[in-house]
Each structure stands twice: as C-alpha cells, then as structure tokens.
RNA sequence: GGCCCGUUCGUCUAGGGGUUAGGACGCAGGAUUUUCAUUCCUGUAACACGGGUUCGAUUCCCGUACGGGCUACCA
C-alpha cells in the first residue's frame, strides 16, 4: 500500500489525473478532458497522472491501454506518472490495487458508514421491473438482505459460508451536500435522493466510486477535472471522503461540458465518425471486427498541434481574440474558470481550418518528413530537396496531409487525366506550330528557373501576339491536368527541363487529337 | 418519471445592468493572383420565451420551453 507519509510531494503541488477505463477507443472528448488536466498541471508546475480504471473485468479490451498511451503521446501529453511512466504512487492500474480498496471498504464497515448486502443483481433487477423508481437507499435498505437487517455476525457467517456479497455505502439521511464546482459554482444534492452505491462488487473489485476516491486521496490529487456525466455522483464521492475522514484534503472538482454530435441531438458518440465519414478519434484503431475499426485524426492527415489547438478551444476560451496556440501558450493562458458551461458541438470544418493553419506555418523540411510516407506509399522515393520544394509549393493548398498527394501527384508521375474544359476553346490545331516555338524556347534555356522561364514566355507571347490567357491555361493543364495548382514556372522549375518539355509535348499531342 | 446541469449569430465563443452585442469557422461578394489556394476587404447572422427587480435588462431573480447528463455489482 502507498505510504503517504514517505511522499516527497509538497502539500500544495498541483496533481491531476486522467483516468480512462480501457474499454475500447477513446474519442476526442476524452482527449480534451486529458488536455485540460494536462494544461493545468503544466501551468502550475504540477503533475499529470495517467491512471487506468480497469475495474470492470467484463468490459476490458486488450490493447485499449496501449491505445490510450499512444494517443496521449501523439498529442504531446506525456504523463508524469502512470503505468509505464513511473511515479511513486503506483501501481496505476486499479486492477492491481484490489487490496487497497478492500481495506478501506472494510474500514467503512467497521465505522458503520458501509454495510454488506446480499441481494443479487437478478433480485434487484426484479425490483426495478416491479417499480421503475426503485432505489436501494435509506427508504428500503431496512427491508432488504444486508448486514443492517441481519446483523454483522450473521452477515459474516453468510460470507464465510460462501454467499455472494457486496459492500454498499450507507448514505446518511436528510442532509444537503454542497459541492463547489470550479466551473459551475455551487451545486447541491439532497442525500434523500441518493442511493446506497455499491462500493465493492461481488467479484472483489471496487466500483468506480470507491476506487476513484481512494486513489485520488492516496495519489494526492488536488483537482478532479472530468466529464459532466460525473456530476450527479459527486455527492456520493463527497460522502465517501467524509466517511473515510479525508474531507479536509478532498480535491477540487471541475465538471466539463460534453462534446456534442456534429449533427442531430446528443453527445458525440463513437458511431458519429463512421456515419459522417469524419474522424472523432485521435488515432486509428484496428478492431477484430472491421465494423469496430475507426480512423483517427492522425491517419486522416491532421497534425497533433492542430488537433490540440482545436480541442482546447472547443469549450474553453482565453477571453482574447487569439485563435492559434501552441501547447505552451495554451498552458499559460489556460484557466478552469473560463471553461464554458454548455456542451460544444463538434465542428469538423473548424478542425480542418486549424490543420490548414498549422500546415501552412510548418517549415518545408518538417512537412516533407510527414509527406514522405504518403508519397512512398505510391511507389516514389523523391530526393529530400525535391520533396521539400514540393511541400513549399503545395502547403498553402492543402488542409490535410494526404492532399499533398491528391492535389500534387503529378510532380511524381505522369498526369492521370487532363481536364480539357478550361482550355477546349483556347486550343486550336493551327496554333500547334506556335506552341512548338515556345517548347523550343524552353528547350534552349541554360538555366531552367522561374526568371528565365518567365522571360522566355514573355518574349514568346510578345512575338506571337498572345496573351497570358491564351498561354498559361494551356501550359497548366498540359503540366498538371488541372486548372488548379502552384504557379506554372515554379512547377516547371521543380519538374526540370527534360520532364517539363516532354510532358508539354505529349500533352500537346493529346490536345491535338482530343480537342 | 425523478434528480442535477445548461441556453449569445448555422457552429465555436467574447462580453456584461446603459455596447453600433466583439472575434473565429462556415457561407456570400470583392481586391490581389495566369489558375487554385493563401492574404486582405466587405457582407450575412445571435442575447430561447414569460414574468419580476431596476430609471434601465441580453446581463440579476423566478417560472416555462428546449437541450444535455445521471438514474447498474459500467465507467
């Protein structure tokens, strides 16, 4: 068991935790929760702790923990403590802390703030069937099978005899619980509305409620920043802190608004991504069943900084008009009080805008490193200088990484198809000899750079009484197959003389027979 | 149903008792550009409703409506 007396942590040091359960993929909402925790920790010089809440053996998904760790790392949020990350408050997997929880559950029985209960899940389900408002609480606990009605001795005899049992919190009667939430302010609950939550399950594992309170206490957590879905059970958590005599060091609570579906009603769910063809997960997940597989922002071609920036502003605002924030800027500007109270709709257009901003701002070498795998996947191994120059030409024209290829593949291989709609009226067979003159002019250029190409073209246009509108679109479609793209001379200079001239020639031949 | 939370442009939000209610995304138009994109400019569009309190309420209070969450031996 963790011995807190040996801890070297200063009493006032901020310690926050991100505590997901490894039941599958973590969507963007979870990442945002982690981010807000991380930002507070970094800002305060505190610690960001990853704790794996794997107390539900039935829902455990192998690989989910590794997924969570990888997703956090991709986003640039490396835990200071956690499974595989070290730390002096471990173990950080709740399944490895069973004895600790049992110890405190038993302590509560001794103090009379908890009791053994023997009603099976089936029996309770039957009760709920009969009465939809059934609640295992003060009003009914004296008429059910538990150590309150049976007596502790009889209860222990049953347990010794092998009867299945749980431990439940004995919620105190007729009290008002006040919670000061950092985001919502004062929130109150009547204990008469609360049920006697199971603390220790019949399989010996704790429920979220017990494990959470015990771990947050032992790990010296100072701020609990978690989703709004936990607000209703916070009253139980306060009762638990009280029952264990830890109320004076209870962490502060901040309940985050949820992220809502891009379209329709309700909170963002796993299915929304597949339904709309957009990513709602940080990174991809390859599931056993194909229908469970998901694509992540990473694989979709987002930069982690862009995702972080987008997420930070989805439900939080610094109060200034700044939109672009590095992780460092976020952590210095962050404040829990400025988190908004209402749910924020997931806006993929805005996510793309952030990504475009980050791509444009990145230097060519960095982009080249990100784009290389995409280009290589299409069977090309460009030289570093070429790829960097390519990125420089394309980066203002893409919003996600794969578009470097989609919109610029013609820098690596021949044009797949020519869009003739823009030049059909401009291309005239009788002008072919004239364009051949331009090809000739290009061919004799000693320096195949932008200035010389421009000079040669200007001269050509002047001599043949042609306007840019007669020439440039033709060159563009011939070179790229499309009317969109970087400046023509930039393209040609990068392609090089031989490739440019040959490509123009072939395209002109094609135009002659196609138009 | 019960309990809890929320409600400013289509979306993310700033603001806050007296403002032309600000910014961003998106959309529309324009300028620049050989094209696309970038950049710049302009436009579009909001305080859910009803009562209070107040000289004055979008801002404070109460209701209503609507939205959200919880209501498991899941987290």
Distances (CA, A) of A344 to A257, A265, A284, A434: 7, 12, 23, 60
Q: Integer distance in angstroms from CA A479 to C1' B6? A: 56
Q: Which residue is nearest to nucleotide B38 (CA to C1')?
A: A396
Radius of gyration over alpha carbons of chain A, in Å? 32
- Please give the model's pTM, rounded to 2 decimal places: 0.94
Q: What is the mean pLDDT of residues A401-406?
A: 98
Please, which pLDDT band fits residue A9 given cuts at 50, 70 and 90?
low
Which CA-bearing residue is nearest the C1' of B12?
Answer: A314
**Is A270 among the residues known to form the active site?**
yes
Q: What is the pLDDT of residue A188?
A: 95
Where residue A417 falls among pLDDT bands split at 50, 70, 90?
very high
Yes or no: say if A23 and A60 are a contact pair by the CB < 8 Å rule: yes
- The tokens for A120 are 């099976």
Nucleotide at minimal C1' distance from the A488 CA: B34
> Do A77 and A328 form a contact (C-beta atoms < 8 A)?
no
User: Residue A209 and residue A247: Cα distance in Å, rounded?
Assistant: 15
| Cα distances (Å, whole numbers) of residue A139 to A135, A155, A170, A414, A439 | 8, 21, 11, 78, 93
**For residue A136, pLDDT beyond 50:** yes
Calculate the angstrom distance between C1' of B3 and CA of A336: 26
CA at A230, C1' at B60: how many angstroms apart? 29
Phi first, then psi: what are they for A252, rounded to 5°? Answer: -85, 150
DSSP state of A52: B
CA distance A310 to A295: 18
Cβ–Cβ < 8 Å for A295, A279? yes
Max CA separation in chain A (angstroms) = 110
Q: What percent of chain A has pLDDT over 70?
A: 98
Which is more confident, A425 or A461?
A: A461
C-beta of residue A220 within 8 angstroms of C-beta of residue A7? yes
Region for A444 from its dihedrals, namely left if φ exceeds 0, alpha if ψ lies in -120 to 50, beta otherwise = alpha
Section A219-244 average pLDDT:
98
Closest CA to A295 of A215, A400, A198: A400
> What is the rounded distance in angstroms from the CA atom of residue A203 to the CA atom of residue A346?
39
Q: Specify whether the CB–CB gap between A448 and A493 falls below 8 A.
A: yes
- Over range A108-134, report the average pLDDT: 93
- Nucleotide B34: nearest residue by CA–C1'? A472
Q: Nearest residue to B23 (CA, C1')?
A: A321
A28-44 mean pLDDT: 98
Backbone angles phi, psi at A197, to 5 degrees: -60, 140
Say whether A299 sits in a helix, a strand or coil.
helix
Q: How far is the CA of A269 from the C1' of B5 (A)?
A: 20
Mean pLDDT rounded to a whole number for chain A: 94
Q: ipTM score here?
A: 0.96
Res. A283: pLDDT tops 60:
yes
At a CB cut-off of 8 Å and minimum separation 6, what does A355 contact? A301, A302, A303, A306, A307, A310, A399, A400
Identify the band that residue A8 occupies on the pLDDT scale cut at 50, 70 and 90: low
Task: Specify the nucleotide whose C1' lies closest to residue A398 (CA).
Answer: B37
Which nucleotide, over all strands, has the C1' atom closest to the CA of A212? B75
Q: How confident is the model at residue A11 (pLDDT cuts 50, 70, 90)?
A: low
| Residue A170 CA neighbour count, 13 Å, CB half | 21
The whole-number Å distance from A400's CA to B67's C1' is 33
Residues β-bridged to residue A188 = A178
Whether A27 contacts A245, CB under 8 Å: no
| A240 token code pair | 């638990």
Rounded to an integer, the average pLDDT of A203-229 is 98
Choosing from A270, A426, A497, A502, the catalytic residue is A270
CB distance A478 to A503 below 8 Å: yes
- Tell me the average pLDDT across A298-315: 98
- Digit-coded pLDDT (tens) for A465-506: 999 999 999 999 999 999 999 999 999 999 999 999 999 999
Query: What single-letter DSSP state applies at residue A184?
Result: T
**A4 pLDDT above the threshold of 80:** no
**Whether residue A91 has a cis bond before it, omega within 30° of 0:** yes
Mean pLDDT check: name the lowest of A209-213, A216-220, A443-447: A443-447
Mean pLDDT of A142-165: 96
For residues A387-391, give the mean pLDDT.
Answer: 98
Buried b (16+ CB within 10 A) or exposed e, A158-194: beeeeeebbbbbbbeeeeebebebbbbeebebebeeb
| DSSP bridge partners of A200 | A167, A206
pLDDT tens, A46-91? 999 999 999 999 999 999 999 999 999 999 999 999 999 999 998 9
Of the candidates A194, A191, A179, the residue with the CA atom closest to the CA atom of residue A247:
A179
Beta-carbon contacts of residue A264 (< 8 Å; ≥ 6 apart)? none
pLDDT-derived band at A10 (thresholds 50, 70, 90) equals low
Is the CB of residue A72 less than 8 Å from the CB of residue A304? no
Whether the predicted pLDDT of A6 surpasses 50 = no
pLDDT at A1 over 50: no
């Amino acid at each position: 068991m963790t011995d807190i007396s040996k801890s070297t942590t200063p009493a006032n040091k901020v310690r926050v935790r991100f505590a997901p359960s490894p039941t599958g993929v973590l969507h963007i909402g979870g990442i945002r929760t982690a981010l807000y925790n991380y930002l507070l920790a970094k800002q305060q010089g505190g610690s960001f702790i990853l704790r794996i809440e794997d107390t539900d053996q039935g829902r455990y998904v192998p690989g989910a923990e590794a997924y969570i760790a990888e997703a956090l790392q991709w986003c640039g949020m490396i835990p200071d403590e956690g499974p595989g990350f070290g730390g002096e408050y471990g173990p950080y997997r709740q399944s490895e802390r069973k004895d600790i929880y049992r110890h405190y559950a038993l302590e509560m029985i001794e103090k009379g703030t908890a009791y053994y209960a023997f009603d099976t899940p089936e029996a309770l389900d039957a009760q709920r069937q009969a009465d939809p408002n059934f609640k295992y609480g003060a009003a009914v606990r004296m008429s059910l099978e538990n150590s309150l009605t049976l007596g502790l001795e009889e209860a222990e005899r049953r347990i010794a005899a092998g009867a299945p049992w749980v431990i439940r919190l004995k919620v105190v009667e007729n009290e008002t619980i006040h919670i000061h939430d950092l985001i919502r302010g004062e929130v109150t609950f009547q204990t008469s509305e609360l049920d006697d939550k199971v603390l220790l399950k019949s399989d010996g594992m704790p429920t979220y409620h017990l494990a959470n309170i015990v771990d947050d206490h032992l790990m010296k957590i100072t701020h609990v920043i978690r989703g709004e879905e936990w607000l209703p059970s916070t009253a139980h958590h306060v009762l638990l802190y009280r029952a264990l005599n830890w109320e004076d060091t209870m962490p502060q609570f901040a309940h985050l608004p949820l992220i809502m579906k891009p379209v329709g009603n309700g909170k963002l769910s796993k299915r929304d991504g597949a339904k709309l063809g957009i990513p709602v997960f940080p990174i991809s997940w390859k599931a056993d069943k194909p229908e469970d597989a998901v694509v992540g922002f990473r694989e979709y071609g987002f930069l982690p900084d862009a995702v972080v920036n987008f997420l930070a502003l989805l439900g939080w605002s610094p109060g200034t008009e700044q939109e672009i924030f590095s992780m460092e800027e976020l952590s210095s500007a962050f404040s829990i009080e400025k988190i908004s109270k209402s749910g924020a709709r997931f806006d993929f257009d805005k996510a793309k805008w952030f990504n475009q901003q980050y791509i444009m701002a990145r230097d060519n070498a960095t982009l080249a490193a990100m784009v290389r795998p995409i280009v290589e996947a299409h069977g090309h191994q460009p030289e570093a200088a070429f790829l960097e120059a390519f990125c420089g030409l394309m980066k203002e024209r893409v919003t996600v990484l794969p578009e470097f290829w989609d919109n610029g593949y013609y820098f690596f291989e021949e044009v797949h198809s020519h869009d003739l709609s823009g030049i059909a009226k401009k291309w005239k067979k009788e002008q072919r000899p004239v364009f051949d003159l331009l090809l000739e002019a290009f061919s004799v250029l000693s320096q195949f750079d932008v200035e010389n190409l421009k000079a040669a073209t200007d001269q050509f246009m002047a001599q043949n009484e042609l306007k840019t509108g007669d020439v440039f679109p033709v060159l563009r479609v011939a070179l790229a197959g499309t009317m969109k793209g970087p400046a023509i001379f930039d393209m040609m200079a990068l392609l090089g003389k031989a490739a440019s001239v040959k490509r123009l020639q072939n395209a002109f031949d094609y135009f002659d027979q196609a138009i």
